[in-house]
Amino acid sequence: MTTRLITKQGVLVGARRKTKNDFEYDDFLNIPYAKPPVGELRFKNPQPPEPWLGERDATVYNESNLCIQYDIFKQKNRGSEDCLYVNVSTPKVPAAGLLALLPVMVFIHGGGFVFGNGLAKFENGPDYLIEHNVVIVTMNYRLSAYGFLSLDIPEASGNMGLKDQVMALRWVQENIEHFGGNKNDVTIFGISAGAASVEFLMISPLTRGLFHRAILQSGSALNPWALDSPDNIRNHTLKLAQELHYQGPLNDYRAIHNYLMNVPAEYIKLAANKATNPSQVKGVYFGFGPTIEKDFGNGEAFLTENPYELLKSGKFTKVPVMRGFTDSEGFIEAGTKPQDVKEVTTFKNYMDFWRYPLSTSDATYYNEKLRQAYDSYTGNDIERPAIDFFGEFDFVSGVIASSKLLVKHGVPLYLYEFTYDGSLNLLKALNGVNKTGAAHGDDTAYTIQIEPVPMLTQDDVIVRNRISKLWTNFAKTANPTPTTSPLLPLLWPPYSSSEQFYMVIDKDMSIRAKYADERMQIFEEILDKYHR
């Protein structure tokens, strides 16, 4: 069965679908939210979408409209440059204005800003959340060099992938009422690089009024992998040109830009990986990503100041926030760079992994403090202190430091730790880690349906239902537990500078305070002194 509706750009034909619980919804796939960034528009900031004539088939997605990438999880090349599309799933298209408009949840995928998508239906299923009567939007945004190279010129300014996200949110403002969504009730949520994106959207001057609540799963703009220096991004771009056999002067950015505009897209993808060489960089690192841009005075710059400074000074969009991390974020390092875990376990030279240089005396001082903090572990897994270090260095410390800055400026904030180890912990399985705990990103498949769905235990179903209820409660009321119920037996206290409460999400719920306080203070001290 199909459903028709009229958007600002033209008529869409979507499909009526059912969840496994027989909840019916209308699904509209592969909707353009910007002009395809191809030809003359390669590397440029996104442009508004063109209208189309007649009816557009939105019942299927097109694999070639994923953003061009090497998909690390699928281990294959996917997509093309023509990739600025959204999917919209709605419990009911409005009939003659009789239906109240529903809250909207916009999902931003992870993948280190170099892979991932929001388009492939079976990797971005709305099923768990939509049953709570919310409208779900998922999006693509340009990745790797296509979305994040920079030559310090307006035609290749950097952060294009983040500007794509802004364009998608503008599209939501202009169109979501046609799908039964309330444009004044938009929650943005994301995982990993998607969570860092949410925080970047909070601190960007381009996003005022585009969203009203934010959920961040295992990511922050303060994480070391989330922001690269302008020098690094520019040097990566110059190396990219050299990998592609550019032989002109390296200080002629216009000539480099003109050269790159004529290189086939596939070649850029391969060269971007060689230019950034992420496998040879210590710690979690993906390659091209967000940076601080040059301001050309055209009103299009996404980020021109340091994220830490913006958060500290209160220069950000103040909306209610729910965010968290998992208890074993560092499994990502154990799975992708086991040599790093071995190195820290053997030598305990923690400061070797910092992305920016510290003074010699500070490096010695803080390394000793970290050794003392992680040496207090008394369990049997000799790798555990190193895994905890990477989890906290790369993810948790940024999440908590940022949370403290947000609440200082009056932002209502709910913090969680996801500790459940169940059948939907897909990232741990993909990383091949055979240890107990929830890996980085392991809460993803409890919010977004990723197929094939494995056989679930009763506890898996309870945790999945609990998370979808918490997430949609927050999207509707800015409070994950407005009331208690058998599924949500505890009221979740907000995080504050003094109490620092956080909710532990497992097969049972519990409340703790001041996560690893001693270790967090070391990370925060370094961040405050040396942030870049």
Catalytic center residues: 192, 329, 440
Distance of CA 287 to the CA centre of its chain: 15
- For tokens 């709605």, the residue is 90
Measured distance CA(69)–CA(142) in Å, rounded: 9
Instruction: List b or e across 464-495, with b for residues whose CB sees 16 or more CB atoms inside 10 angstroms.
Output: bbbbbbbbbbbbbebbbbeeeeeebeeebebb
Measured distance CA(45)–CA(296) in Å, rounded: 13
Structure tokens that stand for 372 in this block: 């003392």
Sign of CA dihedral 443, 481, 472, 91: positive
Measured distance CA(289)–CA(261) in Å, rounded: 19
Beta strands at 24-32 and 85-90: parallel, antiparallel or unpaired: antiparallel
Residue type, 92: K
Judged by DSSP in three states, 165 sits in helix
Name 365's Cβ contacts closer than 8 Å, sequence gap at least 6. Answer: none
Contact at 8 Å (CB) between 402 and 384? Answer: no
Find out whether the peptide bond into 290 is cis, omega within 30 degrees of 0.
Answer: no
Measure the CA angle with vertex 450, ends 454 and 445; round to 5°.
85
Name 526's Cβ contacts closer than 8 Å, sequence gap at least 6. Answer: 354, 358, 362, 366
The values of phi and psi at residue 101, to 5°, are -70, 145
Q: Burial of 160 by CB count in 10 Å (0-12 exposed, 13-18 middle, 19+ buried)? A: buried
Measured distance CA(258)–CA(261) in Å, rounded: 5
List Cβ<8 Å contacts ≥24 apart for 273-278: 273/70, 273/144, 274/239, 274/243, 275/145, 275/236, 275/237, 275/239, 275/240, 275/242, 275/243, 276/236, 276/239, 278/114
Which has the closest alpha carbon to 402: 221, 194, 211?
Answer: 221
